[in-house]
Structure 1
């Protein structure tokens, strides 16, 4: 055998994960390397939303997966697909029921994406694993891997955006629960703060503290805007209603974090998502709740912004492949 042929046969291709992040307003896909870096020009996005049909959603998902895969660089290979999806999910059966996407209830998202990348008719011909977890689990793994929670082994990640999601790492291991929904902090109850009725529960954190629900409460108090961006701008300008809305949301999130910390003895909570960027004061309101807690072990928890900006969910989806050893079987 020639030396040239031997080198060719022994060449190690760069392993890439095909990362998919499915949420209430958009689905994204990208290729991510084993250091948590997105491959240039591989990131693609399509809309989802409350009014999208099953056919619309499948088209969006299929489009971004194929577009990301087509950006595969020379000398690299796709070794798996990681999917982070808004919950609730059924991780064992690969089913998803994202609350803000009504047409998907027990939808087989894992199987659908497997068919897009697989060897069947119309597929990409790849024989690779496809892993599905809740998006909160994915973002928590991203923060633990390359983000704000590096070196910390008792962590909750949170996303405050269209909805509120979360995930948990305890003693360095990802906690999913039997269905995959452990860490679904958006649907814990936070006492006497009450928001809009959200899927039958006006006391759930998401009902008062997600971006849309915070804006909705502000509008009941006379705020004229309709978006989180407008509320953030009004807050910066000193609008008293916007300031009350942010304070209320921060208090609600702080209570949820205090409860989770009391239950799990967390060291750090990393928070991302579009509405979490509305103002740094939102984090101050959360910390005020923690600072007044009775137990010192609760007061010790640190609350920090995500270190990964908008790439976090995709890096987290890739972590389902590159850091799969942290996941339960």
Structure 2
């Protein structure tokens, strides 16, 4: 991607734990950063205040004069056509008019909204593990589970910005109810909180610090704790089933796994790859490669900027190879 005009995109990455912002240039560099914790259990106005705080830091930077647009990657579901978001993990925001509010906060700049998984896919295709791949599924495995698709070498957002939202594919038909209203969703099994819950139910106990997060479960699994290993094995199985379904439907060649839970490494990816062989049996789906994401916590910001730049034609969109 080239940026002949020197214009920047203001990117926002909105999730259940953090609201991050950055000014991003056409080479993917984050020139200015801002961040607030997400007051996820508070009312809509309180959450918006946190967004406004992040935007305020960005608009105060000298580089703001070069900003041409705003790109937002938000926990979903989102409705890009309506400009609204209803994040499962932020109950105060239901059909919240985020695009209009972001436009107001940024002085009327054009705003492009996509799901956080779509943003991650845009980033990993441009600068990360899906670079040079024509057909890819990129997944965020964290507090929730999201995803995005690259098809035919282009980011595929779908009409509402949710295409590839693998976290809410049902992989356990009679499974537990999910916060989305469905049952047996990938997210209900493979997200960090549910990995922790399953490990605790299986008999794992945290260390003296009392940390029950997924990273602590991963450390226990690496040390051989059976309940921790079983929780990650179950998560890997759920992810494998979702990836296989996606590969069968749209013929992807690679699945990129990112997000905080993916930091567990082979504790998660090992059982995922093993079980993928069980589910992706057809010849055109069996060759899907599973790789870790490369861009880490910056993927949402880089991808939100890339998605906006592609949609609005701000930069010359040609994913580097």
Normalised by the size of structure 2, how large is the TM-score? 0.90
Q: Partner of 2:94 in structure 1?
A: 105
Change (3 A) 1:299 1:13: closer
Is 1:159 aligned to residue 140 of structure 2?
Answer: yes
Is 1:72 aligned to residue 62 of structure 2?
Answer: yes
Q: Secondary structure at the match of 1:137?
A: helix
Q: Partner of 1:35 in structure 2?
A: 27
Structure 2 Cα separation of the partners of residues 31 and 152 of structure 1? 27
Q: Partner of 1:96 in structure 2?
A: 85
Change (3 A) 1:197 1:134: closer
Aligned with 1:262 (options 245, 248, 271)? 248
Q: Partner of 1:222 in structure 2?
A: 203
For the 8 Å contact 2:39–2:50, the answer to whether it is kept is: no
Aligned Cα RMSD in Å?
Answer: 1.8
**Cα-to-partner distance string for 1:94-118 (whole Å, 9 max, x where unaligned):** 0000000000000000111110111
For the 8 Å contact 2:221–2:267, the answer to whether it is kept is: no
Structure 2 unmatched runs, 5+: 207-211
* Cα shift at 1:52: 2.0
* Cα shift at 1:49: 4.3
Q: Secondary structure at the match of 1:73?
A: helix
Structure 2 Cα separation of the partners of residues 72 and 270 of structure 1? 35
Q: Secondary structure at the match of 2:300?
A: helix
Residues 108-119 of structure 1: matches in 2 within 5 Å?
A: 108-118=97-107
Residues 50-65 of structure 1: matches in 2 within 5 Å?
A: 50-65=40-55
Residues 201-212 of structure 1: matches in 2 within 5 Å?
A: 201-212=182-193
Larger Rg: 1
Q: Secondary structure at the match of 1:245?
A: helix
Q: Secondary structure at the match of 1:297?
A: coil
Aligned with 1:321 (options 288, 305, 308)? 308
Q: Partner of 1:23 in structure 2?
A: 15
Q: Secondary structure at the match of 1:46?
A: strand
Q: Secondary structure at the match of 1:307?
A: coil
* Cα shift at 1:26: 1.0
Work out which structure has the larger RCO, using CA pairs closer than 8 Å and 6 or more positions apart in sequence.
2
* Cα shift at 1:199: 3.4
Q: Secondary structure at the match of 1:298?
A: coil
Q: Partner of 1:147 in structure 2?
A: 128
* Cα shift at 1:18: 0.4
For the 8 Å contact 2:88–2:179, the answer to whether it is kept is: no
Q: Secondary structure at the match of 1:275?
A: helix
* Cα shift at 1:197: 4.0
Is 1:276 aligned to residue 262 of structure 2?
Answer: yes
Structure 2 Cα separation of the partners of residues 17 and 303 of structure 1? 31
Normalised by the size of structure 1, how large is the TM-score? 0.87
Q: Partner of 1:9 in structure 2?
A: none
- Single out whichever of 207-216 and 50-59 deviates more from structure 2: 50-59
